[in-house]
Amino acid sequence: MPKITLLRNGQTYEVPAGTSFLDFCLDHTAPHDFGCTAGSCGACVCVLEEGAGNVNPVSDDEAETLEMCTTHKGARLGCQLKVLGDISVRQLDS
């Protein structure tokens, strides 16, 4: 099963492939901040320090929001991620 490592607390969790990162965080009270939960506010912006290829690709809508909220290369919206393999997540200040 894929592993999620949250660099904010250093903990690693195992999840079924295809798990929504948002649902995982809500279910586990995991330390990642969200706002709209719908890909439009940028509150959940993060980078995948490892496993950038182990999630769903960036959609046009996600790319548009990312462009408005960060200049960090490779940033993603946590609320839009589906976990397909091992990832390490670092939340960025939005």
Cβ closest to ligand FES, residue 7 vs residue 92: 92
Structural tokens at position 57: 């690709």
Count CB atoms within 10 A of the CB of residue 57.
8
Q: Which residue in the block uniquely carries the two structure tokens 């999840």?
A: 15
Q: Does 56 bind ligand FES (CB under 6 A)?
A: no
Q: Is 21 helix (H, G, I), strand (E, B) or coil?
A: helix
Tokens describing residue 26? 């809500």
Q: How far is the CB of 67 from ligand FES (least distance, A)?
A: 12
Please, what is the minimum distance in Å from the beta carbon of residue 87 to ligand FES?
A: 16
Which positions lie near ligand FES, rule CB under 6 A?
34-37, 39-44, 65, 77-79
